[in-house]
Structure 1
Amino acid sequence: MRSDASDDALTTLLLPFEQGLLDWPADGGVLFLRARDGYALHARPRPGLICEQGFRPEAERLERSGLVVRQPPEDEPARWPLVMLLPPRQRDESRALLARAVASCAPGGRVLACVPNNEGAKSAEDDLRRLAGPGRALSKHKCRAFWTAPLDAPPDPALLAQWRGLDAVRPVDGGRRLSRPGVFAWDRIDAASALLIEHLPTSLAGRVADLGAGVGVLAQAVLERCPGVTALDLYEAESRALELARRNLADARVPVAFHWHDVTAGIDARFDAIVMNPPFHAQGRGDRPDIGRRFIEVAASALRPGGRLWMVANRHLPYEDALAGAFAGVQVHAQRDGFKIVEATRATGRPR
Structure 2
Amino acid sequence: MHDPVLDTLLRPFDDGLIDWPTTPALFLRARYGAALSSVERTRLICEQSFKPEHDRLEQAGFSLRAATDTARYPLVIVLPPRQREEYRALLARAVERAEPGGIVLACVSNLEGAKTVESDLKALCGNVTSLSKNKCRAFWATTDAINADQVSLWRTLDAPRPILDGRFQSRPGLFAWDRIDAGSERLVAHLPALSGHGADLGGGYGYLSDEVLRRYPEVRLDLYEAEQRAVELAELNLKAYGERIACRWHDVTKGIDGPYDFIVSNPPFHAGRADQPKLGQAFIRSAAAALKPGGSLYMVANRHLPYEAGLKAAFKSVSLLHEDRDYKVYRGIK
Structure 2 length-normalised TM: 0.97
Q: Distance in 2 between matches of 1:304 and 1:166?
A: 43
Amino acid at match of 1:41: L
Distance between the aligned counterparts of 1:58 and 1:233, measured in 2? 22
Who is 2:332 aligned against? 344
Q: 1:329 to 1:89 in 2, by over 3 A?
A: same
Aligned partners of 1:112 and 1:93: how far apart in 2? Answer: 17
Match of 2:73 in 1: 80
1:43 counterpart (23, 38, 51): 38
> In structure 2, what is the Cα distance between the partners aligned to 1:93 and 1:80?
21
Q: How many residues align?
A: 334
C-alpha distance in 2 between matches for 1:71 and 1:77: 9
Residues in 2 aligned to 1:330 and 1:46: alpha-carbon distance in whole angstroms: 47
2:248 to 256, 259, 277: 259
Paired position in structure 1 for 2:150: 159
Checking the alignment, whether the CA contact within 8 Å between 2:118 and 2:128 is kept in structure 1 is no
| 1:296 corresponding residue in structure 2 | 284
SS in 1 for 2:257: coil
TM superposition shift of 1:45 = 2.8
- Equivalent positions of 1:1-352 (< 5 A) are 5-27=1-23, 29-45=24-40, 47-73=42-68, 76-149=69-142, 151-154=143-146, 156-201=147-192, 203-229=193-219, 231-252=220-241, 254-281=243-270, 283-346=271-334
Q: Which runs of 5+ in 1 are unaligned?
A: 347-352
CA distance in 2, matches of 1:41, 1:327: 40
What are structure 2's unaligned runs of at least 5 residues? none
Following TM superposition, by how much is the alpha carbon of 1:227 offset from its aligned partner in structure 2, in angstroms?
A: 2.8
Q: 1:325 offset after TM fit, Å?
A: 1.6
Q: CA RMSD in A?
A: 1.3
Secondary structure at the aligned position of 2:268 is classed as: coil
Shift of 1:253: 5.4
What's the % identity of the aligned pairs? 55
SS at 2:12 equivalent: helix
Residue 272 of structure 1 aligns to a residue whose secondary structure is strand
Counterpart secondary structure, 1:77: coil
Aligned-residue offset at 1:337 = 4.0
Q: CA deviation at 1:46?
A: 5.4
Q: Secondary structure at the match of 1:36?
A: coil
Q: Distance in 2 between matches of 1:41 and 1:101?
A: 20
2-structure distance, mates of 1:253, 1:224: 12
Alpha-carbon shift at residue 93 of structure 1 (Å): 0.3
Contact 1:83–1:111 (8 Å) recurs in 2: yes
- Equivalent residue letter for 2:218: G
Shift of 1:184: 0.7
* Conserved? CA contact 1:232–1:254, under 8 Å: no
The structural deviation recorded for 1:172 is 0.4
